Amino acid sequence: MSFAGLGTSELWTLFAAFGGAMVLLYVLRLRRRRVEVPFTPLWARVVEEKQSSSLFRRLKRILSLLVQLAIIGLIVVALGDPKLGGLAGCGYQAPAPPPERHTLLMIDASASMATIERGEPRLEAARRAAHEVVDQVAPNPNHRVMVVQVDATTRPLTLWSSDAKALHAAIDAVAPQGALDTPTNVDDALRLAASALRDREGAEAVFVTDRAFTPIPEARAAAVHLRVVPVGAAGANIGVAAFNVRPYLDDSLTYAIFYRVRSDADHPLKATLFLYANDDGRGVDDFVDPARVVGSYALELPANGSVEAVIDAVKFSGSRLAARVRIDPADPTRDVFPRDDVAFALVPERKVLKVQLVSAGDLFLNAALLVRENVDLVTKTPAEYAGPEGFDVTIVAGAAVDMSRPGNYFIVDPQPGGPVEITGELAEPQVARGDRKHPIARHLAFVDLNIQKAAKVTRERGDEVVAATAAGAPLLFTRTDAAGGRRFVVLAFDLRQSLLPMNYAFPLLVVNVLSWFHQESAGLLQPNRAGAELSLAFPLPGRQVTAVGPADAGRIDVRRVGDRVHLAVDRVGVYTLTTDDADGATFPVAINLTDAAESRVSPQEVTYPSWEPPAPVVLDDDPWLSSVWRILLLAALGLVLVEWLTWNRRVTV
């Protein structure tokens, strides 16, 4: 006899534990009830007559204990699921138990699974394939399956189970609202597979997927015995791969729109890009409305390629934009993956900056500042300067004024006694080094400046040098005095002692400096992707952050950590974050798909080992003889009834 359930040692442990507990309870049960009687000698007379029967009484008690221990023994052995090696004389020979196998059934629920093929999403085909896998393994009761949903995260939907009904139900529960708008996190899925399959008999990971993800290295696939059940066929798809709104540096009323549209069709296509604006739109349906179109642009898409362009001077009202690309109706090509046809962008808010220029009369700076529309400039002489209060930026050019109070200071030609220590003078310095990635240096090239002389200043810890001489002497740098609430941008020379004002870069430098002070990103906005954990700078007060998304938004995980908010969602759209303390103020976030791998809906050329159904198993045709545990449980039940009956009839009392 062998045990298919718990092992022999475990069964002995269980029997010892429960048997010991039973004996203990039995001893406790023998604690007698205390009864007060008026005259015990009368009872003594009776008991004396009964002395001869006390041995039988004790025997009956032991019998009762033995019956209960037998019940425990039967149940414990039943837990071991004993298998009879053979019943000699009965002509019954139990077949060998079917092999143990473990299949991690991963179902792709990422965005590409929303591709429409033969009138239904790929996810439905994947579901059918997964059901088929379960049906194939179900005849083997020792073949256990765990159903896992794979998208941006990996979510087990069952434990290891051989219950086909439960497994089918779990498969039906994969992304019940349809495929998500997230990429496929293959790394995560493989990690889970490696963990779940470790030390399992007959382990394999079966991935039902359209393979729209970065190819899996062969070694990693082999490590988890990855088998792929492919779904999906080749098809044409166009989609918005990038979409951003870029504010003009000196024009707050018009915007530059950047887009990239890619095509997976094997032939050129004509398409149209539509732009929609809406102040409070959240989902596709809120934007895609002829009344909200702010522009449409004809595109010529090459075969398996992309086009990108910047649409200049787009004027519109509204704080939220959506772009949607459509194949021309005249073209018979059908876009099989409409999910990536739409992208969202937020229009950066503008504000008028209050800037004061403190100088003896620097016309270059004055002119550069006047270029920018959204600057409210006030010029003051050093004598008129009363402090930085009330201004977003204070520009001090060649003047020695008090800069000890909190504020944003742009110091041009620093003077002794100011916040910047001057140790000498640099004659005809040349910009030889610089941080071209610094926001202040954006779009700038410090060439042909011809600086006649510059102040030699002392660097401090934390200074970010944007431009310096070959010897490292800073000519343009930033300094942050967090304790004093001051930020500085220092240009270490007099503009009039250089050709910088004549350079086309000079107005850009001024704009960059002002933007740096206000942390205003003047470049392309980084796209936020569905499924990714986003960490966003969050300006609103309050601890409890709530998020509202489009009508079909599923999971929204949002929490505040310090001055940032962490957000993870499964659907594209515009999400609005707010807090209880924000007085109704909201913070919008645009979430897009824009994942090249997901948009590439045609099957990859990489091939993975395919899944083969297991060999049919031979099962016992007499489940009662093979399932000894049932007989044992019935016997235990019978003994319980006998014990109950004898106890209540006071036979074994």
Partner 1 sequence: MAGAGARAARVKDDALFDEAFMAKLEYLDIVAKKRFISQARGDRRSKRIGAGLEFADHRRYSPGDDFKNIDWNVYARMGRLLVRLYEEEEDLYVYLLVDSSASMAVGDQHKFDYARKLAAALAYITLSSLDRVSVLPFSAELGQQLVPARGKAQIFRVFEFLRGVRPGGQTSMADAFKAFVHQTRRRGLAVVISDFYAQDGYEDGLNYLRYHKFEPFVIQLTDDRELEPDLRGDILLVDCETGLQKELTVTSRLLAKYRAAHAAWCDELEAFCKKSQVSYFRTPIQVPFDDLMLRVFRAGGFLT
Q: Residue numbers of the site for partner 1 (CB under 8 A)?
A: 30, 32-47, 49-50, 57, 650, 653
Least Å distance between CB 641 and partner 1? Answer: 20
Rank residues 40 and 381 by Cβ distance to partner 1 and give the closer one.
40
**Using CA atoms, how far apart are residues 316 and 445, in angstroms rounded to an integer?**
33
Least Å distance between CB 27 and partner 1? Answer: 12
Kindly tell me the burial class for residue 26, based on how many C-beta atoms sit within 10 Å of its own C-beta (0-12, 13-18, 19 or more). middle
Rank residues 13 and 648 by Cβ distance to partner 1 and give the closer one.
648
Rank residues 50 and 461 by Cβ distance to partner 1 and give the closer one.
50
**Using CA atoms, how far apart are residues 249 and 230, in angstroms rounded to an integer?**
49
**Using CA atoms, how far apart are residues 141 and 164, in angstroms rounded to an integer?**
10
Which pair of tokens denotes residue 356?
A: 């004061």
Rank residues 29 and 564 by Cβ distance to partner 1 and give the closer one.
29
Least Å distance between CB 638 and partner 1? Answer: 24
Least Å distance between CB 47 and partner 1? Answer: 6
Rank residues 36 and 612 by Cβ distance to partner 1 and give the closer one.
36
Rank residues 366 and 646 by Cβ distance to partner 1 and give the closer one.
646
Cα 487–Cα 488–Cα 491 angle in degrees, nearest 5: 165
Rank residues 44 and 313 by Cβ distance to partner 1 and give the closer one.
44
Which pair of tokens denotes residue 518?
A: 């206000």
Strands (E), 251-352: 255-263, 269-278, 293-301, 306-314, 320-327, 342-346
**Using CA atoms, how far apart are residues 599 and 111, in angstroms rounded to an integer?**
8
Least Å distance between CB 643 and partner 1? Answer: 15
Least Å distance between CB 43 and partner 1? Answer: 6
**Is the four-CA dihedral 643, 646, 649, 653 of positive or negative sign?**
negative
Which pair of tokens denotes residue 379?
A: 């010029």
Rank residues 44 and 66 by Cβ distance to partner 1 and give the closer one.
44
Least Å distance between CB 29 and partner 1? Answer: 8
Rank residues 51 and 526 by Cβ distance to partner 1 and give the closer one.
51
DSSP H stretches of helix in 80-199: 122-137, 164-172, 186-197
Contacts of 348 (CB under 8 A, 6+ apart): 245, 247, 520, 521, 525
Kindly tell me the burial class for residue 563, based on how many C-beta atoms sit within 10 Å of its own C-beta (0-12, 13-18, 19 or more). exposed
Which pair of tokens denotes residue 104?
A: 């991690």
User: Which amino acid, one-letter code, is at 610?
Assistant: S
Least Å distance between CB 70 and partner 1? Answer: 22
**Using CA atoms, how far apart are residues 591 and 343, in angstroms rounded to an integer?**
8
Least Å distance between CB 13 and partner 1? Answer: 32
Least Å distance between CB 84 and partner 1? Answer: 42
Least Å distance between CB 44 and partner 1? Answer: 6
DSSP H stretches of helix in 173-262: 186-197, 218-223
Rank residues 54 and 546 by Cβ distance to partner 1 and give the closer one.
54
Rank residues 40 and 458 by Cβ distance to partner 1 and give the closer one.
40
DSSP H stretches of helix in 273-376: 284-287, 363-371
Q: Do residues 21 and 68 lie in contact, with contact meaning Cβ atoms separated by under 8 Å?
A: no
Which of 197, 204, 491 minimizes the C-alpha distance to 359? Answer: 491
